[in-house]
């Protein structure tokens, strides 16, 4: 129950699934399964029957006052670790959110650049065809069209260059965010290699792959 509750709450609070037993038979939501529940049961019996008596015997030699001080220090360390870990998870989520937004804008700007290039090419082809037909006449209407088409191509070219510059800027920001792995996020991905993000699965998978490459 503790494992199920912990997995469920961490999933809902931080939007990550830290472990997944979905491939195991008789699992509940992927948070718990019969096999690992039995393993936990055996481990708990071993702790209570074997490990705890040894620790209790060792603790009996520690004075009560010193024991209280040690307990307070360990509790402080535990809560400090919880705070650092929770803040690290939230920062990781913010980083993934920012990367997702940049990726979406990159796709949007790239699409616009593609459309502008297409329009520019089509406009040039249409203009060349019209030029062949009207070159002999050289009417004022043709000259106006010539000027308008040239102006349009210049505007499209300028807009495309501006968008290309924006793409480079977004790529730089994305690369910076992708490479900014904190010790907490690295520790989390090492401790939970099967961790999945509910909102940014592809980005988190890419970060885990990059971490594996760096370790090699």
- Which residues in 125-163 are b (16+ Cβ under 10 Å) and which e? eebeeeeeeeeeeeeeebeeeeeebeeeeeebeeebeeb
Whole-angstrom Cα Rg for the chain:
31
Name the 3-class secondary structure at 106: helix
Question: DSSP states of 121-184 as a string?
Answer: HHHHHHHHHHHHHHTTT--HHHHHHHHHHHHHHHHHHHHHHHHHHHHHHHHHHHHHHHH---HH
Tell me the domain boundaries of the chain: 1-61, 95-215
**pTM flag (> 0.75):** no
Q: What is the pLDDT along the chain (216 residues), one digit of tens a residue?
A: 888 998 898 888 888 888 889 889 999 988 999 999 999 999 999 999 999 999 998 888 999 999 999 999 999 999 998 888 888 888 888 888 888 888 788 777 767 665 554 455 455 555 555 555 555 555 566 566 656 656 655 655 555 677 777 777 777 777 777 666 667 777 777 777 777 777 777 777 777 777 677 666
Of the candidates 109, 104, 85, 124, the residue with the CA atom closest to the CA atom of residue 168: 109
């Amino acid at each position: 129950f503790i494992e199920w509750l912990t997995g469920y709450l961490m999933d809902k609070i931080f939007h990550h699934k830290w472990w997944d037993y979905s491939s195991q038979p008789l699992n509940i939501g992927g948070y718990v399964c019969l096999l690992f529940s039995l393993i936990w049961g055996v481990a708990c019996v071993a702790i209570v029957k074997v490990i705890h008596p040894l620790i209790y015997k060792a603790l009996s030699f520690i004075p009560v006052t010193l024991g209280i001080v040690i307990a307070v220090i360990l509790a402080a360390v535990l809560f400090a670790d919880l705070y650092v870990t929770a803040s690290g998870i939230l920062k990781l989520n913010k980083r993934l959110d920012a990367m997702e937004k940049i990726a979406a804008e990159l796709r949007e700007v790239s699409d616009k650049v593609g459309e502008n290039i297409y329009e520019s090419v089509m406009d040039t082809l249409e203009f060349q065809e019209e030029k062949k037909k009207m070159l002999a006449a050289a009417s004022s209407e043709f000259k106006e069209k010539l000027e308008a088409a040239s102006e349009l191509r210049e505007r499209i070219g300028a807009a495309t260059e501006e968008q290309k510059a924006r793409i480079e800027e977004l790529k730089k920001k994305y690369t910076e965010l992708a490479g900014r792995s904190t010790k907490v996020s690295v520790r989390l991905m090492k401790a939970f290699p099967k961790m999945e993000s509910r909102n940014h699965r592809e980005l988190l998978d890419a970060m885990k792959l990059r971490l594996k490459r760096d370790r090699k």
